[in-house]
């Protein structure tokens, strides 16, 4: 890891690391999306053979009940028992965050409010390239279920033999996912957005993926909603001389298990920086030396990391200054791994600095609201004059007439 000062120009590159579009990727993805939109299942089969090396028949796109049932024979019973504990943790967290409809009376004859409703149909993307992310199934599906989404379609790429990882199938089955399809990549995103003969289109697509999946989500946004455009995973650790270096080294090492993952330690302790550097020699990443912990918080906010660990004696004191982070882990016994798997909040989090304006996946991502406005005749009459003044300035005479005709 490389030690840099808080004044280093390298920091600007870190701040501005947001996922940029590569022209060649953009063009390839557009071609794939257009093919799926026009050719439907035929394009899905073509690209599954090209990218996954699997030749499928149209009827094989959807995973059968027999294959789902058979998946239970290929997993450990301990997996299911552990999963049930985790599911309860996730449910407990998200039940607290569901938004409810409300009404308020504003003077005589005026009622305002919002009606919240769940999305009808959601598509979930589960990566299965370098590792089958079974944990991402419950981290995406459970918030949607709690929100009340009626139909959930899950897509995930097949392995070289055309099968879906049994752990992914079992989690999806236990959570009562309605449909599972063996298709991935940009072609899978296109199928969810536009629909094919086999896969019905959805209202929103969620879940992480590689650069092609992320670019496809960007291109179909507007046709459907998306959660965010995710890039490589990130970890920032704020620590000082009282922090345990073994914990820091272990957490930074874990971060580098992810391809192109960003690992950063921010500290005001030179001795800690040197010790961590000596143990992680040859590993990519940065150690940023600051004057004090307040400056560390300021730099972290500019980085806006996906994961932020605060490993100081009183982490809550620094937490007050944190504005930009996908998830914040407080204290020495809250490693990112506990958030990735068991704590409860979703591990689908903003990356590439987008924590400045995006939040982690939540129940609200699967809800939408209608504004409710109700005026009596008397209430409308009271606002008639200011309404006419503003509408008159804008020159919208028919708007004025639509009020006047009521009196």
Residues 323 and 316: their CA atoms lie apart, in Å, by 13
Assign 105 a pLDDT band (cuts: 50, 70, 90): very high
- Among the candidates 226, 250, 278, a domain finishes at 226
User: How many Cβ atoms from other residues are within 10 Å of residue 326's Cβ?
Assistant: 26
pLDDT band at 257 (very low <50, low <70, confident <90, very high): confident
Annotated catalytic residue: which of 215, 234, 306, 309?
Answer: 306
Residues near 274 by beta carbon (within 8 Å), at least 6 away in sequence: 3
Residues 176-205, buried b or exposed e (16+ Cβ, 10 A)?
ebebbbbbbbbbbbbbbbbebebbebbbbb
Residue 197 in any domain: the answer is: yes
Global pTM value? 0.92
Within 10 Å of residue 167's Cβ, how many Cβ atoms? 19
Stretch 71-79: mean pLDDT, rounded? 92
pLDDT at position 21, please? 60
- Examine the domain organization and report whether 30 and 129 are in the same domain: yes
Do the domain assignments include residue 184? Answer: yes
User: Which residues, in sequence order, are CB contacts of 249 under 8 Å at separation 6+?
Assistant: 276, 279, 280
Q: State which of 207, 226, 245 marks the end of a domain.
A: 226
* Same domain? 205 vs 257: no
For residue 90, pLDDT over 70 is answered with yes
Residue 5 has phi, psi (to 5 degrees) of -85, 165
Which residues lie across from 239 on neighbouring strands?
Answer: 267, 311
Strand order in the sheet with 151-155: 179-181, 151-155, 121-125, 204-206, 225-226
Say whether both 262 and 221 belong to one domain.
Answer: no
Residue 271 confidence (pLDDT) above 60? yes
Both 51 and 196 in one domain: the answer is: yes
Whether residues 168 and 80 fall in one domain: yes
Higher local confidence (pLDDT), 20 or 190: 190
Whether 371 has a pLDDT exceeding 90, the answer reads yes
Q: Give the total residue count for the chain.
A: 407
301: enclosing H helix or E strand: helix 293-303
pLDDT exceeds cutoff 70 at 2? yes
Q: Are residues 287 and 314 in the same domain?
A: yes
195 with 289, same domain? no
Q: Any catalytic annotation for residue 306?
A: yes
Residues 300 and 391 in one domain: no
Which is catalytic among the residues 167, 234, 307, 347? 307
What's the pLDDT band for 19 if we cut at 50, 70, 90? low
Q: Does residue 280 share a domain with residue 150?
A: no
Task: Report the chain's C-alpha Rg in angstroms.
Answer: 25
Mean pLDDT across 317-329: 97
Domain span at residue 310 reads 2-19+232-344
Number of compact structural domains in the chain: 3
* Whether the predicted pLDDT of 130 surpasses 80: no
Query: Is 142 part of a structural domain of the chain?
Result: yes
Which parts of 148-292 fold into alpha helices (H)?
166-174, 185-194, 211-220, 245-255, 270-279
Mean pLDDT of 87-101: 94
**Catalytic (active site) residue 294:** no
**Is residue 359 situated within a structural domain?**
no
Q: What DSSP letter does each residue of 11-63 carry, written as one string? A: HHHHHT---PPPHHHHHHHHHHHHHHHHHTHHHHHHHHHHHH-----GGGSBP
Average pLDDT over residues 124-150: 92
**360 within a domain of the structure (yes/no):** no
Question: Among 226, 253, 276, which residue terminates a domain?
Answer: 226
Any domain includes 7:
yes
| pLDDT score for 347 | 93
Q: What's the angle, vertex CA 260, arms to CA 259 and CA 261, rounded to 5?
A: 90
**316 domain-assigned:** yes
Domain shared by 54 and 163, yes or no? yes
Q: Is 300 found in the same domain as 254? A: yes
Q: Tens of pLDDT along 193-238?
A: 999 999 999 999 999 999 999 999 999 999 999 999 888 899 999 9
For residues 347 and 326, the answer to whether their CB atoms sit within 8 Å is no
Per-residue pLDDT, averaged over 186-191, amounts to 98
Residue at 352 is within a domain: no
pLDDT band at 250 (very low <50, low <70, confident <90, very high): very high
Q: How confident is the model at residue 260 (pLDDT cuts 50, 70, 90)?
A: confident
| Residue 221 and residue 250 in one domain | no
For residues 200 and 65, give the distance between their C-alpha atoms in angstroms, rounded to a whole number: 18
The pLDDT of residue 20 is above 60: no
Over range 146-151, report the average pLDDT: 97
Least confident of 18-27, 133-142, 341-350: 18-27
Q: Please state the rounded mean pLDDT for residues 360-383.
A: 96
SS3 assignment, position 270 = helix
CATH number, domain with residue 257: 3.40.50.1980
């Amino acid at each position: 890891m490389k030690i840099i000062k808080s004044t280093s120009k390298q920091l600007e590159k870190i701040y501005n690391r947001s996922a940029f579009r590569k022209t060649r990727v953009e063009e390839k993805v557009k071609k794939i999306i257009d093919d799926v939109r026009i050719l439907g299942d035929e394009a899905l089969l073509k690209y599954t053979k090209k990218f996954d090396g699997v030749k499928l028949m149209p009827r094989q796109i959807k995973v059968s009940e027999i294959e789902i049932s058979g998946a239970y024979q290929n997993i450990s019973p301990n997996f299911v028992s552990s999963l049930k504990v985790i599911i309860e943790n996730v449910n407990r967290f998200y039940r607290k965050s569901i938004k409810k409809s409300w009404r308020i009376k504003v003077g005589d004859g005026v009622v305002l409010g919002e009606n919240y409703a769940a999305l009808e149909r959601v598509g979930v993307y589960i990566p299965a390239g370098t590792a089958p992310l079974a944990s991402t199934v419950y981290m995406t599906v459970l918030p949607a279920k709690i929100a009340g989404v009626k139909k959930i379609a899950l897509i995930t790429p097949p392995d070289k033999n055309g099968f879906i990882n049994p752990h992914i199938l079992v989690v999806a089955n236990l959570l009562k996912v309605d449909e599972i399809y063996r298709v991935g990549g940009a072609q899978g995103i296109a199928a969810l957005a536009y629909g094919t003969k086999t896969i019905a289109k959805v209202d929103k697509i969620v879940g992480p993926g590689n650069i092609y999946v992320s670019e496809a989500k960007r291109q179909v946004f507007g046709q459907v909603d998306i959660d965010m455009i995710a890039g490589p995973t990130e970890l920032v650790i704020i620590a000082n001389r009282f922090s345990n270096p073994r914990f820091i080294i272990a957490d930074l090492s874990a971060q580098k298990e992810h391809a192109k993952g960003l690992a950063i330690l921010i500290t005001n302790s030179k001795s800690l920086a040197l010790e961590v550097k000596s143990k992680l020699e040859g590993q990519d990443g940065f150690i940023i030396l600051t004057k004090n912990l307040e400056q560390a918080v300021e730099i972290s906010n500019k980085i806006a990391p996906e994961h932020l660990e605060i490993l100081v004696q009183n982490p809550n004191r620094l937490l007050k200054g944190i504005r930009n982070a996908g998830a914040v882990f407080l204290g020495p016994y809250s490693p990112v791994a506990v958030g990735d798997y068991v704590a409860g909040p979703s591990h689908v989090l903003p990356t590439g600095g987008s924590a400045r304006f995006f939040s982690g996946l939540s129940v609200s991502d699967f809800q939408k609201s209608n504004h409710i406005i109700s005026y009596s005749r008397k209430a409308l009459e009271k606002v008639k004059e200011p309404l006419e003044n503003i509408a008159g300035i804008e020159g919208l005479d028919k708007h004025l007439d639509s009020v006047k005709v009521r009196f």
